[in-house]
Amino acid sequence: MTKVIAVVNQKGGVGKTTTCVNLGAALSQKRFKVLLIDLDPMGSLSGWLIDEPSENGNGSGELLRGTIGFMETIKHSDELGVDFIPAGKSLMDIVLMESLDPFILGERLGSWVERYDFVLIDCAPSSNVLIANALLASDSIIIPIQTETLPLKGGIKFIQWLREFKNEYNVNVNILGVLPCMFDSRTKLSFGILDAMKQSENLGPMVFNTVIRKNIRLAEAPGAGRSIFKSASKSFGANDYASMALEVAERSGMPIPADTPVEIVPGAGAESEINVENVGSGTDDAALQS
């Protein structure tokens, strides 16, 4: 059974593309068949996986326009062991088409996606027409949120917007999980916000157990065109995304591979004992529910 998951947040720079690429690679390592779709006109995922600029070729923009078919858009990454659809040269034009049918991506994907176990969609941060298409084509979503005050507030606003979107289109898009990203174990703020997220009555049940720690190796991976597992397999980033892949598979109801996951505790060691009392003001449960 195919699981189509949109990785989405209306704020940029929170780890959407990093999550798509490295989660996809981690799932592939677990013997799942994976397709990544670049639905961001900036083409960050495309630039990570191919040397040729995405605007020079066909991709999701042409698929949405109907000028090419699904199979014509597919490329393969030997480095990640996944298939992917780049952004293509027409996706930027799509952003201007506010009248674009929000169901068209789901229609274009059709039954083709059934050849995959997981389809991960890397979404634009601010284009409602593209976000709408991603959400309506998906079974569930992952919301990466940086463990800082303003990104957290932005993530909360997105969840509020999502409720309105679901009511408008009468769809039930499941939130697979909220993913704490760029967690910095050196700061009290990161601990305070992570604690507030997990303790929130509304947000807490959605937060992944896995936390993606801030790691220079993750930042270096795109420049090398590789996943974190190929560029730094022993790094925090590799451990965190390997752990996340197992959690995503479990939450999706997909059979989990036999190998036992290693429990990753953010900030393990002396720093994990930091007192977070009165830290991260403005991110208490009342703020999370606002």
Q: How far is CA 73 from CA 3, 25, 63, in A?
A: 20, 20, 7
- Residue type at 59? G
| pLDDT mean over 33-39 | 97
- Residue 56 confidence (pLDDT): 60
pLDDT digits (tens, 9 = 90+) for 127-184: 788 999 999 999 999 999 988 888 888 888 888 889 999 999 988 889 999 999 989 9
Cβ neighbourhood burial of 130 (10 Å; 0-12, 13-18, 19+): buried
Sign of CA dihedral 157, 185, 244, 122: positive
Identify which of 8-12, 108-112, 150-154 has the greatest average pLDDT.
Answer: 108-112
DSSP letters for 207-235: B-S---B--HHHHHHHHHT--HHHH-TTS
CATH topology (fold) of 3-289: Rossmann fold (3.40.50)
The CA distance from 130 to 132, in Å, is 5
**Closest to 111 (Cα-Cα) out of 69, 59, 65:** 69
| Residue 241 host element (H or E) | helix 236-251
- Residue 127 confidence (pLDDT): 72
pTM: 0.85
Q: How far is CA 14 from CA 28, 65, 67, 212, in A?
A: 23, 29, 32, 11
The CA distance from 169 to 282, in Å, is 32
Phi-psi category of residue 122: left, alpha or beta, with phi > 0 → left and psi -120 to 50 → alpha? beta
The CA distance from 20 to 5, in Å, is 10
- Residue type at 279? V
The answer to whether 27 and 249 are in contact (CB under 8 A) is yes
Q: What are phi and psi of 45, to 5 degrees?
A: -65, -40
CA 58 vs. chain centroid, Å, equals 23
Cβ neighbourhood burial of 184 (10 Å; 0-12, 13-18, 19+): middle
pLDDT at 270 over 60: no
pLDDT at 262 over 50: no
Cα pseudo-dihedral 285, 286, 289, 290, rounded to 10 = -150
**Other Cβ atoms closer than 10 A to 75:** 16
- Residue 259 confidence (pLDDT): 54
- Residue 257 confidence (pLDDT): 57
pLDDT at 277 over 70: no
| Residue 96 host element (H or E) | none
The CA distance from 261 to 11, in Å, is 31
- Grade residue 52 by pLDDT with cuts at 50, 70 and 90: low
Q: What are phi and psi of 190, to 5 degrees?
A: -60, -45
